[in-house]
Amino acid sequence: MTEAYVALEGGHVLEGRGRADGTARGEIVFTTAYTGYEESLTDPSYEEQILTFSYPLIGNYGVREERFEDDRIHPRAAIAKEFTDEIVDWFEREGVPAVDHLDTRDVVTDIRDGGAMKCGIAVGEDVTEEDALEQLEACTAMSDHTDIGAQVSVDEPVVHGTDNDGETVALIDCGAKGSIVDSLLARDATVHVFPYDAAVETVEAVDPDLLFISNGPGDPVNFEGAITLVEAFVEDMPVAGICLGQQIVAEALGGSTEKMTFGHRGVNQPVLDLESGQVVMTTQNHGYTVADPGDHLEITQINVNDDTPEGIDGIEYDVLTRQYHPEANPGPEDTLDFFDDVLAMASGRADTRAVPADD
């Protein structure tokens, strides 16, 4: 066990117990999820962030690769009240600093009051408060990571499910969770995964039935390539998106996005479907939101806690997006039918277009 310091924007420095050594900087966020730590830690959307778990015991049911969303840990560092030795071994193997034995209620309260903020961490035998403050000083704001897509996307196109008989999906990988690909493959789709900045002609070449924009880290305006793809294809092809994907679709179609104070990260975020009146429980991880959907999109689902947009449909285009994670890893599984809906939209079996509320 070693020294550990966590320096927050504004100068508040917390002391904890060092579990995995190293220094790190990034925007500090918290998740209220009480399960799914392997899925969260391997979710590419956490790239360049420091993840605080508000649930006090993390690692308590082991670490199993089949639950991973990607092949590495994405947050720059992790904080909890208590990490088990098994999860600490994983942090050490991957060189990800980890701190426990601090009061995570303090950290969460700071983030809730001050918003997701810059953070510096130093963990090691001889580290000092100054080392953490130096990291804080060098920290880049999330929106200034302008080429973050390059850190999380495939370098070259990859195809999955070539023996499948269903729809052909062009998945634009802005940092896609593995379970999004799995959810499409399980429904017989062939999935062409493209780099986040793929050219229009490259995507066109596979003659897709659906353009699908994935989740991913950071500010949606930094994904210019994906915005261009939506603009290029939306008149001729159905478009779907998850999380960052919803934000990119809004940016492309005349809407706008904004940064939230501390975002939504957890596994029990309630979402209301405005047409059916039904509430579902959802997994979420986002710090930006659609501020204005523009004239071509209709908000069809909202977050019960703060009324922010959770589901958006096209009005004159075939568009279906979700701000939450319908692939539901680790769960709850209330929203898996999103994948059936987008594939039905892709095959022309379903009319998903929204009727504007004031018609």
Ligand X SMILES: NC(=O)CC[C@H](N)C(=O)O
Catalytic residues: 243, 325, 327
Q: Is 269 in the site for ligand X (CB under 6 A)?
A: no
Identity of the amino acid at 195: P
Yes or no: say if 74 and 43 are a contact pair by the CB < 8 Å rule: yes
* CA 51, 56, 60, 61 torsion-angle sign: negative
Q: How big is the site for ligand X, counted in residues (CB under 6 A)?
A: 11
Q: Is 14 in the site for ligand X (CB under 6 A)?
A: no
Give the range of 64-72, 192-200, 210-218, 266-274 binding ligand X by CB under 6 A.
210-218
Beta-carbon contacts of residue 358 (< 8 Å; ≥ 6 apart): none
Q: Is 218 in the site for ligand X (CB under 6 A)?
A: yes
Identity of the amino acid at 214: S
Q: Is 216 in the site for ligand X (CB under 6 A)?
A: yes
Output the smallest distance, CB 215 to ligand X, in A.
Answer: 3
Beta-carbon contacts of residue 260 (< 8 Å; ≥ 6 apart): 116, 286, 287, 288, 289, 308
Give the range of 65-73, 279-287, 297-305, 335-343 binding ligand X by CB under 6 A.
279-287
The alpha carbon of 358 is separated from its chain's Cα centroid by a whole number of angstroms, namely: 32
x/- binding map, residues 288-317, to ligand X, per CB under 6 A?
A: x-----------------------------
Residues facing residue 79 across a β-bridge: 52, 99
Q: Is 335 in the site for ligand X (CB under 6 A)?
A: no
Binding to ligand X, residues 244-263 (CB under 6 A): 244
Residue 205 has φ and ψ, to the nearest 5°, of: -60, -25
| Helix (H) or strand (E) run with residue 339 in it | helix 337-347
Output the smallest distance, CB 42 to ligand X, in A.
Answer: 13
The alpha carbon of 12 is separated from its chain's Cα centroid by a whole number of angstroms, namely: 27
Q: Which residue has the tokens 């399980």?
A: 186
Q: Is 215 in the site for ligand X (CB under 6 A)?
A: yes
On whether 45 is known to bind a ligand per the annotation, the reply is: yes
Q: Is 40 in the site for ligand X (CB under 6 A)?
A: no
Residue of 77, 108, 198, 243 interacting with ligand X (CB under 6 A): 243
The residue ranges that bind ligand X (CB under 6 A) are 45, 215-218, 243-244, 285-288
Binding residues for L-glutamine: 45, 216, 218, 244, 247, 285, 287-288
